[in-house]
Structure 1
Amino acid sequence: MKNAIRILAVFAILFVGCDDNEYEAPFPFSDVGFYTSKGTANDLQVNLNEYLSFTDLSQGAEAHSWRIEKTDVFLEGPIDRTDSILDPFIIEPRTTTSFEKTVHVLFQTSGMKKVRLYNTFNEMVVFKGNRDNVDYEMAAKKEGDLFVIDTTFMVKVYPKLVPVIKVRNGDVVVNHEARDTIYIEAGNTMEFTDLSTIGEPTGRTWSIRKALKPGEEVVENPVVGSSGDAIANIAFNKLGSFSATMNLSRTGQNIPGDFATYVVNAPIKVIPSSKPFELTGEVKELEDETIQVPFNGEFTPFGGQEEFFTVMVNGEAFEVASVAVNADDATKMDIKLAAPIYRPDVITVSYSGGSIESSDTREALPFTDEPVLMSSVNLIPADIAGLETGADSWAPFWSNKGTAEYSTEQAATGEYSLKLKVEAGQDNAEAGAAFANPIIFEDGKTYIVSYKMYIAPGGVGTDGGTHTGLFLLQNWGFQFWNNFAHPVGEWTTHTSDYQSTTPLSQFYLRIIPNADKTTDMTVYYDDFSIVEKEERP
């Protein structure tokens, strides 16, 4: 009987050294047994040009043998863990069969490999093993006058990692293997794509480093850009020469680790941009009341420019205390006001034009009355608030009778929303979302609870008692109800003030039909939010 067994060991014993003469059987537990240097893993996995050790624990065997594939070889022990060159341990002449109790097998080619243990006995024996923490038995098969245990160990041998990449500069795929300089304008991005498959990599890190001149020493962190994305768009904001590398890796539980580095041959030269140096993106208020202004390039450090900025708060000019380059991201300016600002404030920022320049010597262009997006710290986890994981943060409630599911049919922001549908005759449509960590509310503070709702056109029986309700559990006393006397076919925002010291551990959302249960309607929900309420004194 020949069995391909993936739970390959009786004991999880790891070899400290591989000396064939050191083994002593701990105690007789059966007539047949074995262990490996990888313990009881479901799959034996090793890197190319690494070895595994196998020991036959059988007692009273008439005969036994180990057989390996022609591409693999037996090694002579003892082998120390520090031995990295294994050729001197190869047993010559090379053979695919060994009759030793303990063998060390060096795998010289990648792929799925077989190591076969063949034992014969004069009487019936039963192998007792464990697979996925479940005990099992395998009885010998009688062949003629002997009883045979024929076991095949499956070993996955990983090849070395082979980095393969593609580099795109704008619309052009560049020859990164050549040594021709790649020119890119300051403020632009270059796309680096990891195409590696050989060796089953699990991750990578792109690094952009400042190129050193001959004899130049590193005086600061030379990495000016990095990413772990398979498709990385990395911005080049500083003038100068740079090099790019990718560190490819294979890591994980029970996976043999490996690393490989690829250095892009082509040097990268960043030249001054031909584009205007201007505001890009939204002006935002940070949680600490800093107003952050993003530009399409890095700023040269500057000072004394406050007089060129005007910040209007609710129609009134506020004193600008400071303007400076952000310490962590030189593409952003930080503006601080002399007086505090609050979430309901309406704020605009203007720059009349002073002496602010980019790192590639472009003059910053003025801008007028740019609105400030105020900071809003949403206490609800992002996967529940915006549903963009498209996973299972929201799920049908245990008593749900209608439809409760993620949907891409409508979304206030992003791609996903929560869809509730109740049909005629159904008691409700209900969904819930449990919080991994309860939200703790402070006594005496007011919070604003809000969400967005879209009522699909064509609903039936939406009057006469049809409601939707949001419950903040475990506070059953707070019931955020809405009837459906709202615009149909458009997203509407619904808010309510909330005061409580009861921790929020779950959302519960439902539609209740009218008394006659003739309601047939579909509603989408998105952008759930709980923020601390601020009011200007």
Structure 2
Amino acid sequence: MKNKVIIILLMIAGIFTSCTDNTYEAPPAFSDVGWYTSAFQQENFVVAKGQFASFTDASVGTLDHTWTIEEGNSFLKGPIALKETKFDSYIIYPGAVETTDKTIHVYFKNEGFQKVRLYNTFNDYVAYRYKTFAIAAKAAVVAKAAVPATGDAPAVPAVAAAPAVVAVPRMDAVLPAVKVGDKWVIDYTFNVKVVDTIVAKMQVTQTVAGVTTTVSHQNATDVITIKKGTRLQFIDLTEKGDPTTRTWKIGAATLTLNNTAAIPNNNNGLLIFNTVGDFKGTFTASRASTAAGALPNDTDIYNIPATFRVVP
């Protein structure tokens, strides 16, 4: 009986052995391209000066891989604490502008548009598919006064002014690899807008008898004289910080301008003075934090040195 059991087991083992190939077959080579950034799916990549952004190359099957940044910016070593505000101690590869690390944290110390370049090569063709925005503009509507009925012609109602409308439907886009020699190349550059802190700067103009002139306001000895019920034009000349709200306060008079989709740079307006007297004023330029927190809240208040004198 024992011999029969051994024979049966040997037969079963023989069946499995005959059906099994002991030779290891490596899986086919696979190439693909992909990446992640701390901007997620935002169309615009915006970072405050002195902050960092993260980039991860998720590609597989690369032959060559390089991240390149601009001089003046730095690579940081992660992980970085969420509440960290100073990053100099995290700097790695001082002075370097290239690395083969898969994930990089770029410390932006230069303002303006900064480039972060990803360069990968592959044995096989690859393509990166992503979402983008198609912009379609609709012309603004010009206001028209109502026209009363005359004779046989019917009355024409008034037409209210309407700002230009911009539609932004999402659509798929493809970044294909390009054949260079015997390799397929993905060469992509992220354009990151680095915004500095706000430094408020302004201008005042006055129109008298149809002539508009710029009025000096920078000196404590400047006196801007205007008649009650007339107005001055205030213009925001701020060059740094991308403010989204501007507010002028002169005595009890206040002018506030906010950026909107229709007026993305709403930077000048008129302020009427209805109270007689001498007044001092301020100009406040500010921006609210973006949804993703890339740009923090920021405000700069400029105390206008000039005196505004409103006469009867």
1:232 counterpart residue number: 270
User: Compared with structure 1, are the counterparts of its residues 195 and 137 closer, same or farther at alpha carbon in structure 2 (3 Å cutoff)?
Assistant: closer
Structure 1 letter corresponding to 2:44: D
Q: Is the 8 A contact 1:31 1:125 kept in 2?
A: yes
SS in structure 1 of the partner of residue 92 of structure 2: coil
SS in structure 2 of the partner of residue 82 of structure 1: coil
- Counterpart Cα distance in 2 of 1:173 and 1:99: 55
Q: Is the 8 A contact 1:204 1:249 kept in 2?
A: yes
Structure 2 letter corresponding to 1:64: H
Q: Does 1:158 align with 2:186?
A: no
SS in structure 2 of the partner of residue 100 of structure 1: coil
- Counterpart Cα distance in 2 of 1:54 and 1:109: 18
- Counterpart Cα distance in 2 of 1:236 and 1:78: 58
- Counterpart Cα distance in 2 of 1:233 and 1:202: 19
Which stretch shifts more, 168-177 or 136-145?
168-177
- Counterpart Cα distance in 1 of 2:130 and 2:306: 56
Alignment of 1:302-451 (within 5 A): none
- Counterpart Cα distance in 1 of 2:231 and 2:221: 16
Structure 2, unpaired ranges of 5+: 1-29, 134-169, 258-267
The structure that is helix-richer by fraction is: 2
Alignment counterpart, residue 204 of structure 2, candidates 160, 167, 170: 167
- Counterpart Cα distance in 1 of 2:298 and 2:33: 36
Larger Rg: 1
1:101 counterpart residue number: 102
Structure 2 letter corresponding to 1:234: I
SS in structure 2 of the partner of residue 88 of structure 1: helix
Q: Give the alignment's Cα RMSD to 1 decimal.
A: 3.4
Q: Is the 8 A contact 2:236 2:246 kept in 1?
A: no
How far the C-alpha of 1:269 sits from its partner, in A, is 5.8
Q: Is the 8 A contact 1:162 1:196 kept in 2?
A: no
Q: Does 1:196 align with 2:237?
A: yes
Structure 2 letter corresponding to 1:178: N
Q: Is the 8 A contact 2:215 2:224 kept in 1?
A: no
Q: Is the 8 A contact 1:181 1:266 kept in 2?
A: yes
Q: Is the 8 A contact 1:187 1:236 kept in 2?
A: yes
2:171 counterpart residue number: 134
Q: Does 1:179 align with 2:179?
A: no
Query: What is the aligned length?
Result: 229
1:264 counterpart residue number: 304
- Counterpart Cα distance in 2 of 1:52 and 1:208: 40
Percentage of matched positions with identical amino acids:
34
Alignment counterpart, residue 249 of structure 1, candidates 283, 286, 299: 286
Q: Is the 8 A contact 1:167 1:190 kept in 2?
A: no
How far the C-alpha of 1:161 sits from its partner, in A, is 3.8
Structure 1, unpaired ranges of 5+: 1-28, 210-223, 276-537
How far the C-alpha of 1:57 sits from its partner, in A, is 0.8
| Cα deviation digits, residues 17-60 of structure 1 (max 9, x gap) | xxxxxxxxxxxx97221011111222322233332211111123
- Counterpart Cα distance in 1 of 2:88 and 2:82: 15
Q: Is the 8 A contact 1:205 1:247 kept in 2?
A: yes
How far the C-alpha of 1:244 sits from its partner, in A, is 0.8
| Cα deviation digits, residues 402-436 of structure 1 (max 9, x gap) | xxxxxxxxxxxxxxxxxxxxxxxxxxxxxxxxxxx
1:205 counterpart residue number: 247
Structure 1 letter corresponding to 2:284: N
- Counterpart Cα distance in 1 of 2:225 and 2:178: 71
State the structure with bigger RCO (CA 8 A, min sep 6), 1 or 2. 2
TM-score (norm 2): 0.61
SS in structure 2 of the partner of residue 205 of structure 1: strand
1:59 counterpart residue number: 60
| Cα deviation digits, residues 486-507 of structure 1 (max 9, x gap) | xxxxxxxxxxxxxxxxxxxxxx
Q: Is the 8 A contact 2:284 2:299 kept in 1?
A: yes
Q: Is the 8 A contact 2:248 2:283 kept in 1?
A: yes
| Cα deviation digits, residues 236-270 of structure 1 (max 9, x gap) | 5164x532111123568889465432210234466
User: Compared with structure 1, are the counterparts of its residues 269 and 118 closer, same or farther at alpha carbon in structure 2 (3 Å cutoff)?
Assistant: same
Q: Is the 8 A contact 1:243 1:264 kept in 2?
A: yes
User: Compared with structure 1, are the counterparts of its residues 149 and 92 closer, same or farther at alpha carbon in structure 2 (3 Å cutoff)?
Assistant: closer
SS in structure 2 of the partner of residue 228 of structure 1: strand
TM-score (norm 1): 0.37
SS in structure 2 of the partner of residue 62 of structure 1: strand
SS in structure 2 of the partner of residue 266 of structure 1: strand
